[in-house]
Structure 1
Amino acid sequence: MSNEQEKIRLSIKQFVIIFFLGLGYTVVYATPFIQYVFYDALVSALGCSQQELGYLITIFGIGNILAAFGGMLSDRFNAKSIYMIGVGLICVLNVLFAFNMNYTFALVVWAGFAFSGLFLYFPAHIKLCRLVGHERQQGTIFGFVEAFCGVGNVIVNFIALYFFTKFATDAYGVNGLKAAIICYAVIGVITLICLYFLIPKPETAKKDNTSAEPEEKMTVKDWVHVVTNPRTWMSGIAVFATYTMYCTLSYYTPYFSNVLGASVVFSGGLAIIRIYGTRFVGAPLGGWLGDKFRSLSAVVGVSLLGAIIFVVIFKMLPPGTDATLLIVMTIITGVFTYMARGAMFAVPSELEIPRKYAGSTSGLVCCIGYCPDLFIFVLYGYWLDVYGNAGFDRIFLFAAVVMAIGVLNSIAIQIYKRKHKIGKSSAAA
C-alpha cells in the first residue's frame, strides 16, 4: 500500500468515533424534525393547525444564525465539553416535551432546540469531526460521518417506531409519540456516554498528532477575521448550493407521481432509495475522492454539475417514462448530491483554514449554507400552490441556477488556491 493510501485510510477507532458522531447527529435533530416521521400524531398532540406546526421549523431554522456565534464558543473553550452540553440539553428538552405536550410549550422547546442544536452542538460537532484525523483524511472522515448519519437515522427511527407502535394505545397515537421522543432521549444519553470515553481529552490527544485541539484560543479579533475571510464564504457557498439540491430532491417524489404519472407506491419506494441507498454510497465516495485527488471543492463542483445535467434531463422526460430509467436516473442524481454533501464540510480544510478556527468557521458556514431552511420550502410551496404542476419548472430552474453558482464557486476556489499557493506545501510533503 502506498503512503498516500495509508494517509487516507481510517483506523477502526476512528470509524467507531465517526459512527457515534453520526448517531449523535441523528438524535439531536430527530425531535426538531419529528413531523417528517410522526406528522399526524404531532398535530393531534399539540392541537395546532398545520401552519402553526410550520412555525416550529421556522423557529428552529432561525437557529442557523446563532451557529455563526456558537462556533466561537467551540473554539474558545473545550469543543468536547460544548458538544456534551449541547446533546445533553437536547435530551433534557425531549423528556420535558414528552411530559408537557402542548403548542405553547412546544414553541419554547423548539427555541431550546435551536439554541442547543445549532448554537452549541453543530459547530462543536463539525470541529470534533475535523479533529478525528489529520488534514489528509478530512474528506473521508466527513463522507463517512454523512453516511453514518443516514445509518443512524434508520436505526434510531426504527427503534422509535417500535416504541410508538407499542405504546400508541390511544386514538391519535399521542402516547406512542411520547414513547418515541423519550426513546430519542435515551439513545442520546447512551451516545453521549460512548463518546465521552471515545473522544480523547485535548491534553491527551495532543500526543497522537491527529485529534489535538490547538493550544491557542479564539479571540474576538480572530472571529472577525473568520467572518471577513473569503475562504469562509467560499466554503459557505459550497454548502448553500449543495443543500439547495438536497432540499429539491424531496420534491422529486410528488413530481414523479403528479407529472410523470408514476404510482404513489413507486414514488415512495424511489424516495427511500434516494434518501438512504444513495447516501451510503455517495457520501463516503465523495469524501474519499476529495482526499485522493486533494480537492474536496472539485468533487463538490463536479457533483453539482452532474446534478444539473440530470435535473435538466428529468424536466425533458415525458409522462409514462419507463420505470427502470427513472430508477437509474434517481440513483445517479442522489449519488451526485450525496457526493457533494460528503465533501462540502471538508472544504475549509482544503482551503487550509486553521483548526484553531474550525468551530467559528463551521458556525458561519452553517449560517450561510443552511439559510435555505428560512425560505426555500415556503418558496417552493408557494410556486406549487399558485402554478400547480408548472411550479416544478420554477423549482428545478431555481435549483439548477443555484447549483451553477456552486460550480462557479468551485472554479473560483481552484483559482484562489493557485493564486495563494494553497496546498503546495502539503503536496510536497
Structure 2
Amino acid sequence: MSIAALVIAGESVFLLPFVLARVFRPTLLEVFDLTNLELGTAYSVYGVVAMAAYFFGGPLADKFPARILLAVALVSTAAGGLVMVTVPSFTTLVMLYAYWGVTTIALFWAPLIRATRQWGGKDEQGRAFGFLDGGRGLLAASMGSIMVLLFAGLLPADSNAATLAEKTDALRRIILVLSGMTFAAAVLVMFAIPHRDPSETAAGEPLSLRGVARVAAMPTVWLQAAIILCAYVGFKAIDDFSLYANQVVGLDEVDAARAGVLSLWIRPFAAVGAGLLADRIGATTMTVSSFTLLALGSLILASGLIGAGMVWVFLLTIVCTSMGIFALRALYFAIMREGKVPLAYTGAAVGLVSVIGYTPDVFMGPLMGYLLDQSPGAAGHQHVYWVVACFALFGLIASWRFARQTSSAR
C-alpha cells in the first residue's frame, strides 16, 4: 500500500506545474498569451528556486517523517492550482512557479526518494525505483488520456473551430480536476505511509549538514549528479513532443496532445522493465544502454528526416526516445546503493545530486523557448534535439565512469 501511495503522490505533485503544459502546450501558450520563451522563463524561475530547495530539503528528509512532509507539499501545491485557474498575468504565473519550486521540492522530493529507497531494502533498489517511476508514468499517462478526452469533449467537434473562450473554459476545468487530485493524494499519504523507524534517522542535531559533507566526499555521488543532469535534459525535451507534432508533422491540437500522451504511456513499461533488469544485470549496465537509446532517438529527431505527414515515423521515434528517457528516470536513483551511499544520509545525497542534476529546470525551458522562437518551424525543433543528443553522449561517458568507479571499489 505504501508504494502505491508514493506513486500517486509522486506524480500528483507535478501534474499542475509540468504535466498540464506537457500535454496541452499549444493550448496553454494560446490561453495564457505566452511565447515559448516566456513559458520557459517560468520554468527557469521554478528551477532556480528548486536549486536551493533541493539542498535544504535533503536534511529535512533525514529528520522528519516522510508522510508529514509529503502531505504538506501536496496540499500547498494544490492550492496553487486555484491561482492558475484564474489565468493570471505572466508576472503572477512566474511567481506561482517560484512558489511551486518550494512546495514540490523542499518539502517533497528528498522524502519521496528516501521513502522509496527504504521500501526497496538492500537487494531490490531497481524494483523499488522502477515501480515508483513506472507507476508514476502509468498515472501520468492515464491522467493525460483522461484530460485529452475531457478537453476534446468540452470543445466543438471540429477542435480547430474552437474559440479562445471555449479553449480557456476547457483548460480551466482541467486545472480544477488536477488540483482536486493533488489534494486527494495528500489525504492518502497521511493514512498509507508508515512512521519512520527512529533507528534509520541520521545522527547529529536537527537539520545538521554533516551528512552533506560526508556524501560530498564520494566521487560516485558527483558522477551520479552528472548522470541525472544528462538524463533530465532528455526528460525536459519531451515537453516539445506535442508542439513538434503540431508544427512539424502537421497534427491538429487534439492529435498533437495525443502524441504527447503516447510518450507518457511508454513510461510505465520502460521504467518497470529497466528496474527489474537492473536488479539482474546491474543498474549501471542498464544506465549505459538507456543513454545509448536516448542518443540515437535524439539524433533522428535532430536530423530533419521527419517532415510533414510522417506521422508513423515520428511516433515510432518518440516511442524509442521515450524508452531511453524513462528507463533512465527509473535508474538514476537506483544506482545510489551501488555508489555506497549510507541509508541514513540518503536525504543529504539526494539533495546534493539534485542541486546539480536538476539544473535543466533552470536552463532548458529558456533554451528551448529561445531556439523555437528564433528558428520557427522544423529548424527550431531540430536545434532542441541536437542539444539533447549532446547531453546524452555526455551521460553515456559519465555512466561508463560510474561503472568503472563502483567496480574498482568492490
**Matched residue SS, 2:120:** coil
| TM-score under structure 1 length normalisation | 0.78
* Match of residue 247 from structure 1: 236
| Aligned-partner Cα distance in 1 for 2:35–2:245 | 28
**CA pair 415-386 structure 1, distance change in 2 beyond 3 A:** same
| Aligned-partner Cα distance in 2 for 1:45–1:307 | 32
* Match of residue 183 from structure 1: 177
How do 1:13-32 and structure 2 match up within 5 A?
13=1, 17-32=2-17
| Aligned-partner Cα distance in 2 for 1:248–1:341 | 14
* Match of residue 293 from structure 2: 306
* Match of residue 264 from structure 2: 276
Contact 1:161 1:180 in 2 (8 A): no
* Match of residue 278 from structure 2: 290
* Match of residue 48 from structure 2: 62
* Match of residue 98 from structure 2: 111
**Paired-residue identity, %:** 21
* Match of residue 427 from structure 1: none
* Match of residue 159 from structure 2: none
Matched, 1:238 2:238: no
Give the counterpart letter for 1:302 in structure 2.
Answer: S
Matched, 1:412 2:401: yes
Q: Residues 252-282 of structure 1, C-alpha deviation per residue, up to 9 Å, x if partnerless?
A: 56656766xx442598388346412321211
Residue among 117, 132, 140 paired with 2:127: 140
Contact 1:270 1:330 in 2 (8 A): no
Range with greater deviation from structure 2 (240-249 or 399-408): 240-249
| Aligned-partner Cα distance in 1 for 2:349–2:122 | 16
| Aligned-partner Cα distance in 1 for 2:385–2:23 | 26
Q: Residues 150-172 of structure 1, C-alpha deviation per residue, up to 9 Å, x if partnerless?
A: 22224445666788789999935
How do 1:27-426 and structure 2 match up within 5 A?
27-33=12-18, 34-37=20-23, 52-65=38-51, 66-95=53-82, 98=85, 101=88, 105-157=92-144, 171=165, 177-203=171-197, 213-214=200-201, 216=203, 219-251=208-240, 262-264=249-251, 268=256, 271-272=259-260, 274-293=262-281, 295-313=282-300, 315=303, 317=305, 325-387=313-375, 389-421=378-410
Contact 1:93 1:113 in 2 (8 A): yes
Range with greater deviation from structure 2 (310-319 or 217-226): 310-319
| Aligned-partner Cα distance in 1 for 2:192–2:182 | 15
Range with greater deviation from structure 2 (354-363 or 381-390): 381-390
| Aligned-partner Cα distance in 1 for 2:151–2:381 | 35
- How many residue pairs match? The answer is 396
Give the counterpart letter for 1:336 in structure 2.
Answer: G
Any unmatched runs of 5+ in structure 2? 156-162
Q: Residues 50-72 of structure 1, C-alpha deviation per residue, up to 9 Å, x if partnerless?
A: 76554432221223202122111
**Matched residue SS, 1:201:** coil
**Matched residue SS, 1:115:** helix
Q: Report the CA distance between 1:21 and its aligned residue.
A: 1.9
**CA pair 350-118 structure 1, distance change in 2 beyond 3 A:** same
Give the aligned CA root-mean-square deviation in angstroms: 3.6
Give the counterpart letter for 1:297 in structure 2.
Answer: T
Q: Report the CA distance between 1:92 and its aligned residue.
A: 3.2
Contact 2:266 2:319 in 1 (8 A): yes
Q: Residues 387-412 of structure 1, C-alpha deviation per residue, up to 9 Å, x if partnerless?
A: 55444554333322211111111111
Contact 1:58 1:374 in 2 (8 A): yes
| Aligned-partner Cα distance in 2 for 1:185–1:351 | 37
| Aligned-partner Cα distance in 2 for 1:230–1:270 | 42
Contact 2:129 2:331 in 1 (8 A): yes
| Aligned-partner Cα distance in 2 for 1:103–1:324 | 36
Give the counterpart letter for 1:27 in structure 2.
Answer: S
| TM-score under structure 2 length normalisation | 0.81
| Aligned-partner Cα distance in 1 for 2:312–2:30 | 39
Q: Residues 310-354 of structure 1, C-alpha deviation per residue, up to 9 Å, x if partnerless?
A: 434552747589765554443223222221222112121221211
**CA pair 142-98 structure 1, distance change in 2 beyond 3 A:** same
| Aligned-partner Cα distance in 2 for 1:351–1:419 | 11
Give the counterpart letter for 1:31 in structure 2.
Answer: L
| Higher RCO (C-alpha under 8 Å, 6+ residues apart) | 2
Contact 2:40 2:364 in 1 (8 A): no
Contact 2:37 2:366 in 1 (8 A): no
**CA pair 281-42 structure 1, distance change in 2 beyond 3 A:** closer
| Aligned-partner Cα distance in 2 for 1:158–1:319 | 25
Give the counterpart letter for 1:194 in structure 2.
Answer: L
Q: Report the CA distance between 1:115 and its aligned residue.
A: 0.9
| Aligned-partner Cα distance in 1 for 2:119–2:369 | 40
- The structure whose Rg is larger is 1
Give the counterpart letter for 1:189 in structure 2.
Answer: F
Q: Report the CA distance between 1:39 and its aligned residue.
A: 5.8
Contact 1:290 1:296 in 2 (8 A): yes
Range with greater deviation from structure 2 (172-181 or 299-308): 172-181
Contact 1:69 1:364 in 2 (8 A): no
Contact 1:270 1:327 in 2 (8 A): no
Contact 2:24 2:257 in 1 (8 A): no
Q: Report the CA distance between 1:224 and its aligned residue.
A: 2.2
